[in-house]
Every structure is written in structure tokens, then in C-alpha cells.
């Protein structure tokens, strides 16, 4: 398991370096003079020159890349040229808001999706299964931005049950502010996970060790929750791991619609203003988040199913 863990994290580190390098090159390829955009019409030539030097924009692209990774190894993501604050400080200030959003969305959608999937698998081809299937596919088909806007109009504007904007203060207020945004980005995952669990469960339920468990007279509930679900959930863990990337992109939109701070909004604002240090810092952290979550999903899979350790 240790060897597997080391291999998996080495691969994760490599993916991170490649992804960040690609992002670095893409950002440099974006049209528009970053210094003019950042400083605006009032900037003096001296100020522009100083900024160019501070951002190392007068260096070649490979040199800039080396400087970036050099700083990264020292734990230095650079300084925001506008505020003079450390980029890491700015990024990590925003990160908790995005993590709360993503994890709350994943949590409720996984709990509900797994329950629905199990229930449908327990009643295959019955009206319950069909209703669950219809609901699941409807959830998958509902675009997050439509759900976000409609839920805002219904639950925030019309009924005024939930707040429309912001992140709140304190545990309960924060949780209350998370309801609508996490509902918006988690809804399609409910359907997706439910369908995945159902299909996986039905496959597992037909396997010989389940028949053996039945022969021993174990209750169906115990068979499902202890023996079948443990195996059936493996693809869900993988999907959730990979899904972190999709959730991050959904979070961008959700953060804008619900006026929430977060990594997504930070990246959008920084790209618009060509604030390269912040863009790179935020991209590095979000890519790292994605890579670590997929690596963790693999590790969890390996823990749950030893066959996965030898498969890679």
C-alpha cells in the first residue's frame, strides 16, 4: 500500500507540474498588454517599467517559468502588484469559501444519490425504480446555472427563505448561505451518483459472494449496506474524485451568481485584469486540489478493494 501511495503521489506531482506549465504558457499567450491593462490610462512609463521588471515580464518565457517554479519550491507564489500582498495570502483567503461550497455540494449529493441508487437497486423495475430513474435523469439534465437562477428567484426573492448573496458569518449562518449554491451545483450530481450506484449495485448483487451471504441467512439490509455497497461504491469514489474538477468549474459560475468570494471568482477577476501572479497562484492551488482529490480517490479505492492496488 505504501508503494502504491508513493507512486500515486509522484504521478500527482508530475501531473501538477505539467498542468501548471500548460496554464502558464496559455496565460502568456492571451492577447493584451498586461501592464497597460493593470495600471490603466494614468500609468507613467516609469511605473510601467517598474511593473514589467517586478513581474519579470522583460524576461524570456522559459526564464519566467523557471522563476515561477523556483519561487514555488521556496513556497513563494509572488506578490500581487496592486495591493503588495503575498499571492499565497490572497489565494488561501479565498480557498476556504470554495472548499466549503464544493464539499457541501458533494456531501449532500453523495448522501442522497447513494441512498436513491440503493433504493432503486433494491426495487428494480418497479414504479419506485422508474420514478427514481426519472428524477435522476432530470437532475442530471438540469444545468447548474438554471438551477442557481431559479432557486434564487424562488427561495431567495419570492419566499425569502434563504439568502441570495454572500457567505455569512459563524457556523449556522455560513451553512444557511451555503444551501442554495450547494444545491445548485450538487443537484446534477445526485442524479449522476444515483444512476451509477444503481447500476453498480445491480451488478454486485448478482455476484456469488452476495448469494453466499443470502444463503447464510443475512438480512437484505445487511447484505446491501455491509457487503454490496462497499464494492458498488468504488466507481462513485472515483467519479467524485474526478468530479472535483467539474465542481471547481461549476463553482466559478455559482460564485458569480451568488456573489460569493472564492477561487473561481478570483481567477476570473485576475484574468480580466491580467494579474498574472494571482492567476498562477489560484490555478496552481485549484489544479493541486484536483490532482490531490483524484489521488485520494485512487487511494480510497485501493483501501476498499485491494485489487485496485495491483491494477495500476
Partner 1 sequence: MRIEWKKAPVGRRGFLKGATALGAAAALPMGFAGRAMAQSDGVLRVRNYGDLSTMDPAHSVGVVDETIHAAVYNKLIQYTPGTEWGWKLDAAAMIEQADPTHIKFALRDDIGFTNGHGAMTAEDVKFSFERIIADATESPNKPDMGPLSHVEVTGEREGTIVLNDPFAPLWTIALPYITGNIVSKAATEAAGGRIGVDPVAESGPYLRTSWAAKEKTVLSRNPDWKGEAPVWDTIEILPIDDESTAEIAFDSGEIDLTRVSLGSVERYRSDVPNGGTLVENPSLFYVWLGMNLDHPKLQNQKLRQAIQHAIDVPSILQAAYFGAVEPSTGIVAPGLAGNRPASLVPPAADFAKAAELLAESGETNVTLMLDVLNKNEFTTAAQVIQATLASIGITVEINLLESGAFWSSGDNDDLQLVLNRFSMAPDPSYATAWFITEQAGIWNWERFSNEEFDKIHAMASQETDLEARGEMYRRAQDLMEESGAYRFITHEATPVVHSARITPGLRPDGLMLLRDFGKA
Residues that bind partner 1 (CB under 8 A): 30-34, 36-37, 39-44, 46-47, 50, 82-85, 90, 93-94, 97, 121-124, 126, 152-153, 156-157, 159-167, 176, 202, 205-206, 219-221, 224, 256-259, 261-262, 265-266, 269, 271-274
Smallest separation (angstroms) from partner 1 to the CB of 170: 14
- Minimum CB separation from partner 1 for residue 112, in Å? 15
Minimum distance of partner 1 from residue 141's CB (angstroms):
23
Q: Which parts of the chain fold into alpha helices (H)?
A: 2-29, 34-39, 45-54, 61-73, 87-122, 127-141, 144-151, 171-205, 208-215, 220-222, 229-232, 234-257, 263-272, 276-304, 307-311
Give 71 or 123: the residue with its C-beta nearer to partner 1: 123
Taking the alpha carbons of 162, 165, 168, 171 in that order, is the dihedral positive or negative?
positive
147, three cell numbers: 438551477
Closest approach of Cβ 146 to partner 1, in Å? 14
Cα–Cα distances in angstroms (integers) from residue 238 to residues 1, 196, 233, 241, 300, in the given order: 18, 11, 9, 5, 9
Closest to partner 1 by CB, 63 vs 85, is 85
Which one, 109 or 151, has the nearer CB to partner 1? 151
Q: Are 278 and 80 in contact (CB under 8 A)?
A: yes
Residue nearer to partner 1 on the CB measure, 13 or 153: 153
Which C-beta is closer to partner 1: that of 163 or that of 277?
163
CA gap 269, 279 in Å, rounded: 9
Find the shortest distance in angstroms from Cβ 84 to partner 1. 6
What is the smallest separation between the CB atom of 309 and partner 1, expressed in angstroms?
31
Judged by beta carbon, residue 66 or residue 161, the one nearer partner 1 is 161
Amino acid at each position: 500500500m505504501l508503494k502504491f501511495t508513493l507512486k500515486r503521489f509522484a504521478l500527482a506531482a508530475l501531473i501538477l507540474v505539467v498542468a501548471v506549465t500548460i496554464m502558464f504558457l496559455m496565460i502568456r499567450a492571451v492577447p493584451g498588454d498586461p501592464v497597460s491593462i493593470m495600471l490603466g490610462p494614468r500609468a507613467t512609463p516609469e511605473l510601467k517599467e517598474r511593473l514589467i521588471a517586478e513581474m519579470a515580464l522583460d524576461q524570456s518565457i522559459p526564464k519566467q517559468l523557471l522563476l515561477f517554479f523556483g519561487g514555488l519550491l521556496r513556497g513563494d507564489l509572488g506578490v500581487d502588484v496592486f495591493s503588495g500582498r503575498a499571492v499565497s495570502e490572497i489565494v488561501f483567503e479565498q480557498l476556504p469559501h470554495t472548499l466549503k461550497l464544493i464539499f457541501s455540494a458533494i456531501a449532500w449529493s453523495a448522501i442522497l444519490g447513494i441512498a436513491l441508487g440503493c433504493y432503486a437497486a433494491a426495487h428494480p423495475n418497479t414504479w419506485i425504480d422508474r420514478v427514481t430513474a426519472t428524477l435522476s435523469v432530470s437532475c442530471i439534465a438540469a444545468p447548474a446555472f438554471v438551477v442557481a437562477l431559479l432557486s434564487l428567484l424562488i427561495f431567495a426573492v419570492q419566499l425569502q427563505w434563504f439568502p441570495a448573496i454572500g457567505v455569512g458569518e459563524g457556523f449556522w449562518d455560513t451553512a444557511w448561505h451555503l444551501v442554495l449554491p450547494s444545491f445548485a451545483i450538487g443537484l446534477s450530481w445526485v442524479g449522476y451518483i444515483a444512476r451509477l450506484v444503481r447500476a453498480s449495485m445491480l451488478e454486485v448483487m448478482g455476484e456469488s459472494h452476495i448469494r453466499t451471504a443470502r444463503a447464510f441467512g443475512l438480512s437484505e439490509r445487511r447484505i446491501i449496506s455491509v457487503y454490496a455497497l462497499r464494492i458498488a461504491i468504488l466507481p462513485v469514489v472515483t467519479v467524485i474524485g474526478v468530479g472535483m474538477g467539474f465542481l471547481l468549474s461549476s463553482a466559478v459560475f455559482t460564485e458569480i451568481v451568488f456573489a460569493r468570494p472564492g477561487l473561481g471568482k478570483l481567477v476570473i477577476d485576475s484574468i480580466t485584469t491580467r494579474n498574472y501572479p494571482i492567476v498562477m497562484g489560484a490555478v496552481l492551488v485549484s489544479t493541486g486540489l484536483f490532482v490531490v482529490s483524484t489521488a485520494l480517490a485512487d487511494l480510497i479505492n485501493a483501501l476498499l478493494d485491494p485489487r485496485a492496488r495491483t491494477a495500476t
